[in-house]
Structure 1
Amino acid sequence: MAEINNQKIPIYAVLGTVIFKLLFLLTHYIQEDAFITWRVAQNLLDYGVIGFNGTTKISASTTHLYVFLSYVFNLIFGKENFIEPLLIFNSILFTIGSLFLSHLLLKNVWHKAIFIFLTGILPPAIKISILGMEYGLLFFLEMTLLYYGFYKGKKWALVILPILILFTRIDTVIFLGAVFIIDILWNKKVRWLYILGGILGITSVLAFNELYFGELVNNTIIAKKIAYDNHFTFQQNLEYFAQNFGNFWGMLKLPGDFNPLTVFLLIFELVCFIYLIRQKDQRNYFLWIIFVFGWAKQLIFLSQRSLFDWYYWVPQILLFVPVLILILEQKVKKYLWISLFIIFYIMPMLIFQTIHSIATGNGEWNYRREIGLFLHQYEKDKNQWIFLEPAGYIPYFSGLKTIDEVGLVDKGVQHEILKDKPNFWINTVKNRKPKYLLTYDDLYERKDAEYFRTHYKLVKEFRIKDHLKSDYRIIEKIYILKPSGSDYNLYQRID
């Protein structure tokens, strides 16, 4: 009986970790792109079409499976109430994923419990859980594949889970490929069911894209490639990598190009990994999988100059896992090492993430959301168009049809960029004549200011400085210390 109760300790850790992280819901820190996915889900609910603007089909979200999950939560809880339940569900999924990971790497139930909690309060784990994006679902599916498919040897997992993983994000071919390579090198045999799952996953997601949207890969990938395409020399690519890798390899995105804390962490992670794999242990199989995947994902995305930090959340956690294992398995003065590790590393990171979440939540939820709510009240005709960037909070809360400057939710911008990239913005305005423009600039000061004076009037100025107050002095200090958001000007067409 005592053994059975002990086995429940990691489950209690899962519950405790989820409850602890629910405090972060109070910060209202939700990623901009989550609202793109949620609007796609609601577009499916309203029009029966996977799109962003009415009946026009477009894969405006990076993830198909999470769109469907968001659709289900909208259906059950309603458009006004689905966000909190979905965020809680994301947190539960991620934490169960960390439970599976602990089973792969640790034997002691108390080690597993501490591992689950410490993993769950790392900055990327907090963001995966409460920012509303698909990575909680993705982490759960990936760890479930490793646990049930490669640890428990369940045949269904080898076939079904690769399909679900690829429908969550198509770039997960990197994860599935890393698992495939390490599995062959380690076990010296081919798992044909896993190959079947991978083939079915790739062909089904590509076939779905082609048959439904008329394109093989998601529109978001195409749009970003067109909008952010820069032709760099080899030397420029090296310089770009050196300037940016520090803030994405580590867990804290600090100001400036060079982040010495991240460099130190990277070296420490490598040392811990090398130390662990020198011990002859069956878990080395899974350590190699997560290590190779973490490095491969980071290097591939950084080489493509992909600077959206959510691409790096899962690799950041997995590369840090050897550090946690080494600390937990210290033979001498174990609890002293764990205590020092929590006090001098985990707690500072948690405090940093808390401050970041409060400040960014203010800039997003209290500020950008307010702009959307203003437009919702100001413009009753939801068939009117707005041209802006980005396409998350403001289109979601305004309900207006949207053209975004990258072309994620409207392909017309992509055509304008391909025709005349330096002038795509003004050409889009002249050709599409959207009723509203929301910009960072004063349009009356541009070189083509006369056009805007003739056709558009300034409706309202939105300033982040007006949203740095709080009834709580500590919160206000955080807002002022780290103001989050950009100043906007709203223009309305007058002809």
Structure 2
Amino acid sequence: MAEAQHRNLPIYAVFFAIIAKLYFLLTHHIQEDAFITWRVAQNLMDYGVIGFNGDTKISASTTHLYVFVSYIFNLIFGKENFIEPLLIFNTTLFTIGSLLLSHVLFKNNWHKAIFILLFGLLPPSIKISILGMEYGILFFLEMTLLYYGFKKEKKWAFLLLPAFILFTRIDTMIFLGIIFLVDIFWNRKIRWSYILGGILGVAICVSFNWFYFGEWVNNTIVAKKLAYDQTFTMQQNFEYFKLNYGNFWGMLKLSGNFNPITIVILLFELLCFIYLIRQREKRNYFLWIIFLFAWSKQVIFISQKSLFDWYYWVPQILLFVPVLIFVLEQKVKRNLWLTLLILIYILPMLAFQTIHSIATGNGEWNYRRSIGIFLNLYEKDKKQWVLLEPAGYVPYFSGLKTIDEVGLVDKQIQEEIKKDKPNYWINTVKNRKPKYLLSYRNLFEGSDAEYYKTHYRLLNEFRIKDHLKSEYPVLEKIYKLKPSGTDYNLYEKIKK
């Protein structure tokens, strides 16, 4: 009876949740790595090759499926106009994913609608929706698998969706593996169609990498492992964890090595989860899946020293699901619980994310993009090279060929790292002689200063302090409250 009542409420909630988040488009807060994927997509348009620099093949983007989706949006809307439609598309897919998740968790349509709205306003949900990464598509695919595969038991979902999920990100093997384990323990049977779908998914991804790029795994994985590989003592591991745990389990990126808000949220999530699984509900099957996946993903990535916060967006919001269920299903004083949740947590988190997005959007779109635009106007020969880090905004808006410090978009620098990691930067400069160097450091100071002074000149200094102004006083206060960006020095090779 409850399911038949107000049948369209969840659909209305989907539309409202999408519209409510669109104002974040005005902040221009777009993740740096999104521009790597988009440049790969445009490289495919221009050269017919999945790469980053001309006709050289390289899996510079973490995600293959999103490259092809971005390619289609570039074809339809053009290079100048595709970003906003693609961000709206990502937001829509994520919100539909939250609708599917609500279907596996709730029977009451009012609960579904409120869940979709509150779930969609959490900081990780906003970042998944608007920041341009592949996680909107990924979340939609994963929730589609849960709903159509493991709730509706559609065989097409078992056979097709694992391939799409793995083709979006290879690390989704964690998600698919957790589902497999929970399903076996819960139902005491093996779904052979799901196993076949997983085998097909792995075969397609590995075959594509091997036959197209000549590698088993994406270059991005190899490059990050090589560049960031460090040996830590037990004490160093503990210090590392203290410095970073708040960014992983919490929804706030705060400076410092102690974040009490994260601990409170984590404990409440655990208590709500324990309370819910003690009840005899069919949906506990799905609760176990999403909770175990969220914990597994975060523990595995933390253990591998993965600092990039986008790895943790989906786990962050899934860990909060039991809290929303607990509040919405309170029998006594539910409205009070819901009001407190909204006033004490949801709205402050929304306000925090708004301020964070405005400040970060200024530091990325207004500041870092301006470096790329400067180079685009200054250097007309797009065959010239620039050595820099990171490989997002500046290469995208400059159009120049790029060597990044990590080796995500250029494999040759990986060889320099293997040969002489402490000196790979200067060795790359000497061996490849890029026309431009963009560095956080003053290259005219230090052990290699004489070489740089002899072969390069300082072309421009880019300072974040010069971009903390606005004609709107409120925006200027936000920029100065949370300055986002890094000072750069741009060097040009001296003509001989």
- DSSP 3-state at the match of 1:491: strand
Match of 2:342 in 1: 342
Q: Deviations over 1:56-89 (max 9, x none)?
A: 0000000000000000000100000000000000
* Counterpart position of 2:453: 453
Partner of 1:222: 222
Match of 1:295 in 2: 295
CA separation in 2, counterparts of 1:223 and 1:299?
Answer: 21
Instruction: Tell me which amino acid in the other structure corresponds to 1:140.
Output: F
4+ residue runs of structure 1 moved beyond 4 angstroms? 1-5
Alignment of 1:38-49 (within 5 A): 38-49=38-49
**Residue 493 and residue 67 in structure 1: after superposition, are their counterparts in 2 closer, same or farther (change >3 A)?**
same
Q: For the residues of structure 2 that align with 1:364 and 1:320, how far apart are their CA atoms?
A: 29
CA distance in 2, matches of 1:301, 1:242: 15
C-alpha deviation, 1:240, in angstroms: 2.2
Paired amino acid for 1:288: W
Alignment of 1:368-387 (within 5 A): 368-387=368-387
The C-alpha deviation readout for 1:252-311, integer Å capped at 9, x for no partner, is: 111111211101111110000000000000000000000110000010000001010000
Amino acid at match of 1:438: L
Does the 8 Å contact 1:390/1:404 carry over to 2? yes
Return the alpha-carbon distance in structure 2 between the equivalents of residues 156 and 3 of structure 1. 26
Aligned counterparts of 2:430 and 2:2: Cα–Cα separation in 1? 74
Deviation, structure 1 residue 236: 2.9
- After TM superposition, list the pairs within 5 Å mapping 1:108-127 onto structure 2: 108-127=108-127
Counterparts of 1:382 and 1:95, CA distance in 2: 39
1:202: which partner in 2? 202
Secondary structure of the residue aligned to 2:479 is: helix
> Would you say the 8 A contact 1:149–1:157 is kept in 2?
yes
CA contact (8 A) 1:244 1:258 kept: no
Q: Give the counterpart letter for 1:196 in structure 2.
A: L
1:4: how far off?
Answer: 6.2
Following TM superposition, by how much is the alpha carbon of 1:441 offset from its aligned partner in structure 2, in angstroms?
A: 1.2
The aligned residue for residue 181 of structure 2 is 181
Where does structure 1 lack aligned partners over 5 or more consecutive residues? Answer: none
The answer to whether residue 149 in structure 2 is matched with residue 149 in structure 1 is yes
Deviation by residue 1:439-485 (Cα, 9 ceiling, x = unmatched):
11111112211111111111111111110111111110000011100
Q: What's the TM-score, normalizing by structure 1?
A: 0.99
The SS at the match of 1:396 is: helix
1:243 Cα shift?
3.1
Q: Deviations over 1:215-241 (max 9, x none)?
A: 100000000000000012344323322
Q: Tell me which amino acid in the other structure corresponds to 1:15.
A: F
- Contact preservation (8 Å) 2:385, 2:401: yes
- How far 1:373 sits from its partner (Å)? 0.6
Matched, 1:418 2:418: yes
Structure 2: which 5+ residue stretches go unaligned?
none
Number of the residue aligned with 1:249: 249
Deviations 1:35-55 (A, max 9, x none): 000000000011010000000
- Report the equivalent of 2:73: 73
* SS of residue paired to 2:458: strand
2:7 equivalent in structure 1? 7
Query: The residue matched to 1:6 in structure 2 has which SS?
Result: coil
One-letter amino acid of the counterpart of residue 202, structure 1: V
Evaluate the alpha carbon distance shift between residue 468 and residue 239 of structure 1 in structure 2; reply closer, same or farther with a 3 A threshold.
Answer: closer
Maintained 8 Å contact 2:3/2:107: no
